Amino acid sequence: MKLPPPIHVTGDPRLDWIILAVALLVALYWLRALRLAREGVRRFLVNVAKSLIVFVVCDVALSTLFKLDHSRAQGLSMCAAFIALVIWQSRKRSRYIRAATKRAVIARDLPDGGYDPRIHHIDHIWPHSRGGSNTRDNTRVIEKKRNLQKGAKRPRMRDMF
C-alpha cells in the first residue's frame, strides 16, 4: 500500500512527493542559513524593535505635545522610525574573530596543527558581508587561494551540510 503525499499539488502522487522533498531541502538550506547568519538576523530584529519604540515615542509626542492630528503624527513618526532603522542598519559590524574561536576552528579543521597563515585563511561559511556570524559553526579553515576565489558568495546546498 502506497502512502499518499501529505500535500496535493499536481494530482500525481509521485510528482507531489518530489515537490515535497525539494521543498524540505530548500527549507533546511534556509534554516541553516539563518543559523549561520544569526548575528545579522539578530541585529536586524533588534534594530526593528528599536525603530518601533522610536515610532511609538514620536507618535505620542507629536500627538500630545504638538497637537497634530493622528494621521499626520503617524506619518512623521513613520519617517523618523524609518530613518532611525536605516542609520542603525548601516553601522559596520566588527570582523574580529576571538582568539579562542580561531584556536577551536583550527583544531577542528586541521587536527595535525599545521596552520600556516601564508597558506590558510579562516573563512566565513555564510559571508560576513551578508550577515554571517563570527562563531565556530560559521567559520572554517580553507586554503587562501580558494577563499579569495570564493569572495562573498553564498554557500551552495552541498557546502551547507
Residue 37's pLDDT band (cuts 50, 70, 90): confident
- Least Cα distance to 110 among 123, 126, 96, 97 occurs for 123
Of 53, 70, 90, the one marking the end of a domain is 90
SS3 state at 11: coil
Q: How confident is the model at residue 49 (pLDDT cuts 50, 70, 90)?
A: very high
pLDDT score at 161: 60
* 98-108 mean pLDDT: 94
User: Residue 106 contacts by C-beta under 8 Å, 6 or more apart in sequence?
Assistant: 113, 115, 122, 141
Quick one: 32 and 53 in the same domain? no
| Number of domains forming the structure of the chain | 3
| Structure confidence at residue 107 (pLDDT) | 93
pLDDT band at 132 (very low <50, low <70, confident <90, very high): confident
Band (112; pLDDT cuts 50, 70, 90): confident
- Residue 117: domain span: 99-160
The rounded mean pLDDT for the chain is 88
Indicate whether 103 and 145 sit together in one domain.
yes
Gap between the Cα atoms of 108 and 104, Å rounded: 6
Which residues, in sequence order, are CB contacts of 150 under 8 Å at separation 6+? 123, 142
Pair 127, 104 in one domain: yes
Give 160's pLDDT tier (boundaries 50, 70, 90). low
Does residue 90 register a pLDDT over 70?
yes
Q: Are residues 156 and 107 in the same domain?
A: yes
Statement to judge: residues 70 and 21 lie in one domain? no
Of residues 8 and 110, more confidently modeled: 110
Give CA separation, 97 vs 56, 67, 93, 136, 153, in Å: 37, 50, 12, 9, 20
Query: Do 112 and 153 have their domain in common?
Result: yes
pLDDT band at 157 (very low <50, low <70, confident <90, very high): confident
Based on the fold, state whether residues 81 and 130 are members of the same structural domain: no
